Structure 1
Amino acid sequence: MLAFLADHSLIALIVILAAGLAIGRLRIFGMSLGAAAILFVAIFLSALDSHITFPPLIYQLGLALFVYSIGLAAGREFFASFASKGWRVNVFGGVMLLVLMGLAAGLAKLFGLDPTTASGTFAGSLTTTPGMAAIVELLKGTNPDLAAHPVVGYSLAYPGGVLGAIAVAAIGAGILKVNHIEDATREGLIHSRLRWRTVEIGEGVSGHISDVPRIAQADIIVTRMSLPDEHGGYAPQELAVPNTPLTPGLLLVIHGTDADLDTAISHLGAPAAVDVDMLEMSYGRVIVSNPAVAGRTIRDLDPISHGFIIARLRRGDEEVVAHESDMLELSDSLRVVAPKEQFPAVRRLLGDSENSLANVDLLPFAIGLLLGLLLGAIPIPLPGGTSLSLGFGGGPIVVGLLFGAFSHTGPVQWHLPYHANRVFTTFGLALFLAGVGTVAGPGFRNAMTDPASLKYIAMGFIITVTSALACGVVGMTVLKLRWDESMGMAAGMTTNPAVLGYLNNQTGTELAARGYATVYPIAMIGKILLCQALVVLLM
């Protein structure tokens, strides 16, 4: 069977993917590995037969797809948070990498390890393939006979680099009794269910409908209004035009969470005690599939001028009150209020086509990915005649973050529909884990037969656990992050998709991904530099 898999690489790849994904679903003590199980299946099979391997193209493509898709999804949040806490997280990340390099140097001296193999172990402990490759290139130019040593050290430390970070995340969440959903909710990533109510404006409330959220001191939106008529009743509902003055008796339909609605009504007046004719208005869900609309803010779209109001925005499983500053993306599901006769025009404007979303325009994705790979291939000269590059991981995520923040350039829409992005992210991660796992397998097998290799494994595991623990402690106490975001930062420090894949599967929220994306660029670049600096320091 092993010989058959070694002779048929494609079948071996699918076997590893299928077995890994199946094992990843198993829950033990409430935990599961998720996609990370693919890595360990690949290591296990390649340890049994070193001929079960794949071309580097497999994991390079997987890594590029994964990080570019992550960058597109996280770009806007990354830059939005940078001014508040993002810069502090990156300063910590830079300092932490220097501390870890010092720890690696100390452990190498303490254990009496070969400098070049120990440098590869440092790269493996933080699972940085580009860092290991940078050491190899450095040695090829200075001492070619030692160029294979870092690969051995990397292979020995890599499995522990994944397991150590996952263990800290799992054990820490258990000890701290982390409520993943509650933490994500408090960080604004998960929102309470939205409802609507009708409020009657009371005496002493002045301004215009556009002022209502400020007056109400709540995150709400006004979608419909009804003016008192001359007979003491109310006219049929109509769209809430922003410049309409607030007058006593005016009825407004407002949307928000129960808590925000209670707060708003207490500031605006009282719940309406009358029923209002709604026959002329329609309230329905419309999907954004028009590329000309995607990438524009609600303010730029100016729905009122098109005869409708966007009440709620749903992206993935989360539904929020729509704000003028919200940027629309392909596959966003919008709750729209409009006169019934206007709804066909609203659907034409926004698209509302599942079929067009399924026919993803891959040209912008391919262009963005190409630009990321080209950026990663640019050599950066270093003293001594050597050079480094961002590689297949660093270049794509930098470009992905930038395009994710800009969303579109003229008519070119960089964002993918939500579900398409998730498919690329998951598929890229799976390819990466399968490819890199077969690289690490033979070295792991040799470690089981050579007692001296245990020193390198121990060194790598100590560095990995120290990094994850420091991220957890400093993240929560100094940076004021939640545990899941701190562990996402720890995953970003390792730049390892396997750890993030585990966190995403275990927590069910986007909190870890936010921490991962925040620190990933500096971690990727920093480790490439420091891995080379370490081998120079030790030699």
Structure 2
Amino acid sequence: MSFLTDPVVALFMCLGLGYFIGQLRVGPVQLGGICGTLFVALALGQLGVRISPDLKKTAFALFIFALGFTAGPQFFANIRGGWRYGIFSIIEVVTVLLILAAAVAMFGFDAGTAAGLFAGSATESAVIGTAAEAISKLDLPDGDILQMQANIATAYSLTYLFGLIAIVIFTTQIAPLILKTDLRKEAQKLARALGSVDDEEEEEGLPVVVGRAFDVGPAAGQTVGDFERSRNWAVVLERVQRGSELLETAPEFPLERGDIVFVRGRRNAVIAVTDRLGKEVPVPQGTGFALATRDVVLVRRSVFGRQVRELRQMAAPDLQRGIFIPRIRRMGQNIPALSGTVLQEGDIVTLYGPEKAVARAAQELGNPLSPGDKADFIFLGLGVVVGLLIGHFSLKVGALELTLGSGGGALISGLIFGWLHMRDPRHGRLPNAAAEFAKDFGLAAFIAAIGLSAGPDAINLIKQYGVILPVLGLLLSFVPALVSLLVGSKLMKIETPILLGIIAGQHCSTPTISALVSQSGNSIPVIGYTVTYAISNVLLPLMGPVVVAISRALTS
């Protein structure tokens, strides 16, 4: 047993076993690595092992800065123009706070238990850190502070699973029943309205953009431009083989009987043109030419709020042909790259086509992402330090003193530095893989430290409140979702797949959006999810000190 009480061994034991447990799945519900880590830490904490508070603070600062960094571009885009969906994040915060205040008044929860209940039912682990820091600044004996911080972890562990189950079942099962709708059919209908010609998403593993060769057939007599325009520019006739010659094309190029045309476009669009051309023929060897793929961060203001199909209309004539967008990423999630998809600031758009044309288009749209996988530690270090400085500022509201703390300060700093990096990707690079590791490891190490210190006191809280906390976890998860469903469907008339994605996002629940995408058969729900996820990922952690202040005011 002495081996397990070594802090380093205990930390990695919590991470390894915790993430193993987190892989367990019951239907659409998966516990997740963070909650699994907390369960293992609570168990090992019974042995009396502790992790240095400095490591705990460092891990949380790393996590919360990386969280803000990745959310920054979309957060600032949404607070300027996305509040039609962003209002649902406000509904989440206000509803949960009101129910929580009633629960505190009824059951007399201390600040730690209230904060853990808030974090678990909203499935937002970052609240644990901001609330724990706020409690550490209370004018109370050290023993009371440690007890409250331990109660955060215990209450979180008792309510997280129930909060997760409630939101997954509500969005995938209960909400469609309330609205009397078939989620899959609605998602397919909306996808077609956005420009999809397929009922299903692109099959996994197949290329989105393809090239094929056809006999010109019935298209003989048209110009290349006329043919491409008739297909809404969804395909391009890149080259024509006429006899033994291979000819470059332009919009005014005339098609003649006997020509072999080389068609490139989205796979479903190329398949759809077969009735306008002759029979398909093998692509001869040596007729290809260099094609390039480049990721671009959208920063050009004139394209914000525009549909993908409008980009071609806005482009110069030499950029209107041959360039395709096979993928769009928003907040780390792939959203449907359809002609009707609306673009936002900070979207990462993948351009595909001839190398020179792609390079010119990338410069027109925004900032090309430079290749490489090295993190800019100068930017990272300065960003965290700036966040810690911001956290020292406080605001006096009556008898309450509100402060962001180091966690809230690092979050705000991450948002700003993430936005700055989007404006100029040459500086402050934090690759997606590095950012995800910083978030996952930072939060897991922090949660492990909290759980280990809470271990000895967990049993007491469980005995004190028993089934009350799990029931409240269900309630605090279910009610905000129900309110948002009624507001979104009855008042705002939002399409069901997008509305359910919005509800998953306001709850910051990745398992929920995964279940929704699976049930919808396409990624349409992600369109709503990214907006509220970006905003809730900022608002919910900032509520940690607010929950502590409310609890103290109601129980003092």
Normalised by the size of structure 1, how large is the TM-score? 0.69
Please state how far the C-alpha of 1:9 moved relative to its aligned partner: 0.4
2:3 corresponds to: 4
Confirm or deny that 1:54 pairs with 2:67: no
Please state how far the C-alpha of 1:35 moved relative to its aligned partner: 1.4
Q: What code does the residue aligned with 2:459 have? A: R
Structure 1's 488 and 217: CA in aligned 2 closer, same or farther, altered over 3 A?
same
Please state how far the C-alpha of 1:425 moved relative to its aligned partner: 3.6
1:160 corresponds to: 158
Structure 1's 286 and 520: CA in aligned 2 closer, same or farther, altered over 3 A?
closer
After superposition, residues 173-192 of structure 1 pair within 5 angstroms as 175=173, 192=202
- Partners of 2:149 and 2:536 in 1: CA distance: 25
Question: Percent of aligned positions with the same letter in both sequences?
Answer: 18
Contact persistence 2:14–2:40 (CA under 8 A)? yes
Contact persistence 1:69–1:425 (CA under 8 A)? yes
Structure 1's 485 and 435: CA in aligned 2 closer, same or farther, altered over 3 A?
farther
**Local SS of the residue matching 1:486:** helix
Please state how far the C-alpha of 1:23 moved relative to its aligned partner: 2.0
Please state how far the C-alpha of 1:261 moved relative to its aligned partner: 3.8
Greater CA drift, 424-433 or 126-135: 126-135
Please state how far the C-alpha of 1:521 moved relative to its aligned partner: 1.6
Please state how far the C-alpha of 1:171 moved relative to its aligned partner: 3.0
Structure 1's 161 and 313: CA in aligned 2 closer, same or farther, altered over 3 A?
same
Please state how far the C-alpha of 1:87 moved relative to its aligned partner: 0.9
Contact persistence 1:224–1:254 (CA under 8 A)? yes
**Local SS of the residue matching 2:263:** strand
2:99 corresponds to: 103
Q: What code does the residue aligned with 2:476 have? A: I
1:256 corresponds to: 266
- Partners of 1:374 and 1:180 in 2: CA distance: 48
Please state how far the C-alpha of 1:336 moved relative to its aligned partner: 4.7
Aligned residues: 494
- Partners of 1:476 and 1:66 in 2: CA distance: 35
**Local SS of the residue matching 1:5:** coil
1:195 corresponds to: 210
- Partners of 1:326 and 1:101 in 2: CA distance: 30
Q: Of the candidates 433, 445, 449, which is equivalent to residue 447 of structure 2?
A: 433
Q: Of the candidates 221, 231, 250, which is equivalent to residue 216 of structure 1?
A: 231
Please state how far the C-alpha of 1:158 moved relative to its aligned partner: 1.4
Structure 1's 255 and 151: CA in aligned 2 closer, same or farther, altered over 3 A?
same
Structure 1's 513 and 422: CA in aligned 2 closer, same or farther, altered over 3 A?
farther
Structure 1's 419 and 329: CA in aligned 2 closer, same or farther, altered over 3 A?
farther
Please state how far the C-alpha of 1:163 moved relative to its aligned partner: 1.4
1:346 corresponds to: none
- Partners of 1:407 and 1:191 in 2: CA distance: 32
Q: Of the candidates 288, 291, 295, which is equivalent to residue 281 of structure 1?
A: 288
- Partners of 1:393 and 1:185 in 2: CA distance: 43
Structure 1's 476 and 45: CA in aligned 2 closer, same or farther, altered over 3 A?
farther
Q: What code does the residue aligned with 2:99 have? A: L
**Local SS of the residue matching 2:50:** coil
Please state how far the C-alpha of 1:520 moved relative to its aligned partner: 1.9
Structure 1's 454 and 166: CA in aligned 2 closer, same or farther, altered over 3 A?
closer
Confirm or deny that 1:490 pairs with 2:503: no
Please state how far the C-alpha of 1:437 moved relative to its aligned partner: 2.9
Q: Of the candidates 392, 402, 405, which is equivalent to residue 388 of structure 1?
A: 402
Contact persistence 1:25–1:32 (CA under 8 A)? yes
- Partners of 1:81 and 1:271 in 2: CA distance: 47
- Partners of 1:153 and 1:28 in 2: CA distance: 27
Q: CA offsets, 1:458-503, max 9 Å, x none?
A: 5556434544555566567655435455223213xxxxxxx54786
Contact persistence 1:61–1:431 (CA under 8 A)? no
Which blocks of at least 5 consecutive residues in structure 2 are unaligned? 177-181, 203-207, 304-310, 359-369
Please state how far the C-alpha of 1:134 moved relative to its aligned partner: 6.5
- Partners of 1:335 and 1:225 in 2: CA distance: 17
**Local SS of the residue matching 2:533:** helix
2:366 corresponds to: none
- Partners of 1:82 and 1:153 in 2: CA distance: 34
CA RMSD between the two structures: 5.4
Q: CA offsets, 1:160-199, max 9 Å, x none?
A: 3311221113433663599899969967999524333468
Structure 1's 246 and 182: CA in aligned 2 closer, same or farther, altered over 3 A?
farther
1:245 corresponds to: 252
1:20 corresponds to: 18
1:379 corresponds to: 393
Q: Of the candidates 439, 451, 455, which is equivalent to residue 464 of structure 2?
A: 451
Please state how far the C-alpha of 1:445 moved relative to its aligned partner: 1.7
- Partners of 1:154 and 1:203 in 2: CA distance: 73
1:226 corresponds to: 240
- Partners of 2:264 and 2:411 in 1: CA distance: 40
- Partners of 1:279 and 1:536 in 2: CA distance: 77
Q: What code does the residue aligned with 1:216 have? A: R
- Partners of 1:405 and 1:77 in 2: CA distance: 8
Contact persistence 1:310–1:337 (CA under 8 A)? yes
Q: What code does the residue aligned with 2:95 have? A: V
**Local SS of the residue matching 1:357:** coil
Structure 1's 181 and 518: CA in aligned 2 closer, same or farther, altered over 3 A?
farther
Confirm or deny that 1:529 pairs with 2:546: yes
Q: CA offsets, 1:139-159, max 9 Å, x none?
A: 428x99975674365344211
After superposition, residues 114-513 of structure 1 pair within 5 angstroms as 119-120=114-115, 123-125=118-120, 126=122, 128-129=127-128, 132-133=131-132, 136=135, 139-140=138-139, 150-151=148-149, 153-172=151-170, 175=173, 192=202, 193-197=208-212, 212=228, 216-217=231-232, 220=234, 222=236, 224-226=238-240, 235-238=245-248, 244-245=251-252, 247=254, 251=261, 253-258=263-268, 260-261=269-270, 270=277, 279=286, 281-283=288-290, 311=324, 313=326, 335-337=352-354, 357-375=372-390, 377-384=391-398, 387-405=401-419, 407-410=421-424, 412-448=426-462, 450-451=463-464, 459=472, 462-467=475-480, 470=483, 480=495, 481-491=498-508, 500=510, 511=526
Q: What code does the residue aligned with 1:256 have? A: R
Structure 1's 437 and 221: CA in aligned 2 closer, same or farther, altered over 3 A?
farther
Q: What code does the residue aligned with 1:20 have? A: G
Contact persistence 1:19–1:38 (CA under 8 A)? yes
Please state how far the C-alpha of 1:225 moved relative to its aligned partner: 3.5
Q: CA offsets, 1:513-538, max 9 Å, x none?
A: 66422322223334533542453255
Structure 1's 91 and 517: CA in aligned 2 closer, same or farther, altered over 3 A?
same
Q: CA offsets, 1:54-112, max 9 Å, x none?
A: 2344444444444444444444444555566x31343333244333333233233333x
Please state how far the C-alpha of 1:12 moved relative to its aligned partner: 0.5
Please state how far the C-alpha of 1:14 moved relative to its aligned partner: 0.8
Structure 1's 208 and 452: CA in aligned 2 closer, same or farther, altered over 3 A?
closer
Normalised by the size of structure 2, how large is the TM-score? 0.67
Contact persistence 1:131–1:532 (CA under 8 A)? no
**Local SS of the residue matching 1:282:** coil
